[in-house]
Amino acid sequence: MSEFKLHSIYQSGDFVPGADIVFIHGLGGDPYDTWTTGDNFWPKWLSESFPHVNIWSLGHPSKKIASMLEGRGMGISDRARAIVDYFESMEIGTRRPVVFIVHSLGGLLIKAALRKSSDMAGGGGSTLIQSTAGVAFMATPHSGSSFASAAQVIDSYLKLKFSKVVLELKKDSGFLDELNDWYSSYAPHNSIETVAYFEIVKYLDKIQIVSKTSSDPRVHGCFPVGVDSDHFGICKFKTADNPTYLSINKFLNKCITNKKTLVNIDFDEFYTTKKVGDRKELCDKLTAGGRADKISYAENSKKRVSTLLHKYKLLGSSSAEQTKFIKDVFNRFDLSVKPMIDDGESIKSVNEEIVNRVITPMLQNKTIFFGEEASESDIMDVIYFLTGHCHIKWSQD
């Protein structure tokens, strides 16, 4: 049985998930309590801004992670490997971009896992590092010395008896310093966005556990942001207009937008595999949307696109242009047309929106589909192809 557990906070439902957001607590933390104040559990709020993502919170045994960091019990390398294996067994970092939001020492945990994934990726063994779009560090002490100071305070506050961890790291902080050197060099050159926050308020009015200096991951372009809270309150928000919440929301949007490439999955497989949990056939979807007269045309459209994809795959041709084209169709439809369908707009209005927001802009951009400039018919074929494989629907929930 795994010592890690991913708690599902939100699943994209009828949407095809475009990314995963994973929260990771620190020593003495909890997958829910760390991010909660009163009844306000803000990871859930993100679903309103990002309905296309899956949101998770990782639970992990704090004492085992402490052992990893001090080199006791299972070694650092083995522990990081276990984390990577668990994520990938849960399909985190295998099919879509992933963004990590981490508090305190949880930031060190994810950096160790990413470093291990990077080492494994050289032999084709891990895609987690390739899929990582960003990391938001909330009061994470990045150097060995700053970790020792923070851990000592947390140890005293939580009475977790991690004194040996502190002593070990005071003697030799080389591992964490080397880990931060690696991350600060690797992240900006491999499209991993980074943001960092530090507490301004002293804990119990006595001590600032993670200072601005120690919160700095030393990534080019990342300047730690001060938060008017203490170490344990920095990751708790009462309202959605909290400045730090808004900042993280903006950061997530940047990460998810910038890292759209699917990792370690054939393009054909992703779009031609039915979405899990959706059992409706193409004809049922169209009938439910008042488009039964389009069933025959739509079936032929689906078959045509599937045949072309299969042909290109057999010929060993690059699918990059097809990937871009079909994702463009889906994104335009999902952003502009789907809301009208959900609101119960008329078929005429929906058809006009398809023309104005999907077809016309793509024709004006002279987009390429299977080696030729796309036509209106090509775009409609792809729309029905996506409908047939449960990525597009035509009726209200």
CB 362 within 8 Å of CB 329? yes
CA angle 285, 291, 293 (to 5 degrees): 120
H or E stretch at 55:
strand 53-59
Residues in the chain, total: 397
Q: What Rg value do the Cα atoms of the chain yield, rounded?
A: 24
pLDDT truncated to tens, each residue of the chain (397 aa)? 567 899 999 988 655 678 899 999 987 789 999 999 999 999 999 988 888 889 999 998 765 555 555 545 555 566 778 889 999 888 898 878 999 999 988 898 899 999 999 888 655 557 899 889 999 999 998 875 566 666 666 666 555 554 444 444 444 457 778 888 999 999 998 889 999 999 999 988 888 888 899 899 999 999 999 999 999 999 999 999 999 999 999 999 888 876 654 443 444 455 445 554 455 778 888 999 999 999 999 999 888 888 887 666 655 555 566 777 888 888 889 888 988 998 899 999 999 999 999 999 889 888 888 878 899 999 999 999 888 877 788 998 6
Domain ranges of the chain: 5-258, 267-388
CA–CA separation, 306 vs 368, rounded Å? Answer: 17
Burial of 217 (0-12, 13-18, 19+ CB in 10 A): buried
Return the beta strands (E) in 86-206 as ranges.
98-103, 132-138, 193-199
Separation of first and last alpha carbons in the chain: 37
CA–CA separation, 82 vs 179, rounded Å? Answer: 18
CA–CA separation, 325 vs 315, rounded Å? Answer: 19
Fold classified for 5-258? Rossmann fold (3.40.50)
The strand pair at 193-199 and 40-41 is best described as unpaired
Beta bridge partners of 21: 55, 99
CB 199 within 8 Å of CB 119? no
